[in-house]
């Protein structure tokens, strides 16, 4: 069965510091991995994805994520956090050959000024 | 492009009432999805439609029905609402079978069942 784990309910980081939001996954076959961001009272917005190729993927708003097959992880990172990055972040996985996406429970990121 | 639109934005129902949540996308996507979002639970898939004319159950289908009316529209029906269905409902769409694969989400419907 597919699953996604986001082990931290909340991550606090000071503005200007690097941030990491963790995600691990379990899927049969090749994984397609995604990060989404949700601002208050809004739908989810796509940030970045890993389908194949380079393990480091870059996305919107300066975010990047590193795919690590041996650790089955896909952590979201940003070199320098902004207060405006404060939001709820979701990791999702889709197994190749399927139409269903499985979402993690979300990590609330708070960037402190 | 409007992207994915959902109506209504807010709804309050009494237990036992029925309603239909509407979703439409103008991106010519093949696949459409309904999720519910509850605190601490993330997004859980209710139903999805891989392509026009097909629908399949997701993780939490009980108490819901869906209709893929055409390629653009995918509705979610609550036949007899229960307080446990109080949630925020999101519709999403995705282009298949290209390599794109990400989903595009609507703004959500906040439903309260009393």
pLDDT band of residue A30 (cuts 50, 70, 90) is confident
Res. A95: pLDDT tops 90 = no
Averaged pLDDT of chain B: 93
User: Rounded to an integer, what distance in angstroms lies between the CA atom of residue A13 and that of residue A5?
Assistant: 21
pLDDT of the residue at B7: 96
Closest CA in chain A for residue B48:
A100
Inter-chain touch B43–A44, beta carbons under 8 Å: yes
Cα nearest neighbour of A101 on chain B: B45
- Residues of B whose CB is below 8 A from A32: 101
Question: Closest approach of chain A CAs to the CA of B90, in angstroms?
Answer: 7
Please report which confidence band the pLDDT of residue B98 belongs to, taking 50, 70 and 90 as the band edges: low
What is the predicted pLDDT for the residue at B101?
A: 76
Q: Is the pLDDT of residue A32 over 60?
A: yes
* Cβ–Cβ < 8 Å for B4, B93: yes
Rg (CA), chain A: 13
pLDDT band at B97 (very low <50, low <70, confident <90, very high): low
What pLDDT does B100 receive? 63
Token pair 């917005």: residue: A45
Tell me how crowded residue A82 is: count the other CB atoms within 10 A of its CB: 14
* pLDDT of B1: 67
Q: Which residues pair with B76 in a beta bridge?
A: B21, B66
Does any CB of chain A come closer than 8 Å to the CB of residue B61?
no
> Which among B50, B90, B107 is the nearest to A99, CB-wise?
B50
Cis upstream peptide for B97 (omega within 30°)? yes
Residue B37 reports pLDDT greater than 70: yes
Mean pLDDT in residue range A15-19:
97
Residue A34 with chain B: CB contacts under 8 Å:
101-103
Average pLDDT of the segment spanning A87-103 = 87
Residue B41 — very low, low, confident or very high, per pLDDT cuts 50/70/90?
Answer: confident
* Furthest CA-CA distance within chain A: 44
The yes-or-no verdict on residue B45 having pLDDT over 60 is yes
| Pick from B3-7, B20-24, B30-34, B100-104: least confident | B100-104
Q: Which candidate, B107, B104, B21, B96, places its Cα nearest to that of B64? A: B21
In this prediction, residue B39 carries a pLDDT of 85
- Select from B48, B99, B104 the Cβ nearest to the Cβ of A100: B48
Is B99 a residue whose pLDDT tops 60?
no
Helix, strand, coil % over all residues of chain A, rounded to 5: 5, 55, 40
Write b or e for each residue in A1-21: b if 16 or more Cβ atoms lie within 10 A of its Cβ, otherwise e. ebebebeeeebebeeeeebeb
Q: Residues B32, A94: contact at Cβ < 8 Å?
A: no
Q: pLDDT at residue A104 above 80? A: yes
Q: Which of A103, A107, A108 to mutate to test the interface with B (most CBs of B within 10 A)?
A: A103
Residue A110: Cβ within 10 Å count: 13
Other C-beta atoms within 10 Å of A77: how many?
15
């Amino acid at each position: 069965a597919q699953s996604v784990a986001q082990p931290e309910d909340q991550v606090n980081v000071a503005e200007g510091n690097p941030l990491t939001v963790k995600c691990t996954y379990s899927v049969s076959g090749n994984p397609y991995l995604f990060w989404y961001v949700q601002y208050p009272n809004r739908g989810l917005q796509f940030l970045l994805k890993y389908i194949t190729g380079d393990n480091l993927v870059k996305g919107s708003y300066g975010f990047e994520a590193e795919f690590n097959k041996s650790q089955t992880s896909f952590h979201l990172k940003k070199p320098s956090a902004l207060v405006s990055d404060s939001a709820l972040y979701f990791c999702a996985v889709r197994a190749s050959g399927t139409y269903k996406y499985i979402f993690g429970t979300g990590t609330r990121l708070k960037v402190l000024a | 492009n409007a992207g994915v639109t959902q109506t209504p934005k807010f709804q309050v129902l009494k237990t036992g009432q029925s309603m239909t949540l509407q979703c439409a996308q103008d991106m010519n996507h093949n696949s459409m999805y309904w999720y519910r979002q509850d605190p601490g639970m993330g997004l859980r898939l209710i139903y999805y439609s891989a392509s026009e004319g097909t629908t399949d159950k997701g993780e939490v289908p009980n108490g819901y029905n869906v209709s893929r009316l055409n390629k653009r529209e995918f509705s979610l029906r609550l036949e007899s609402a229960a307080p446990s269905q109080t949630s925020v409902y999101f519709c999403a769409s995705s282009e298949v079978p290209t390599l794109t694969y990400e989903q595009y989400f609507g703004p959500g419907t906040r439903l309260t069942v009393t």
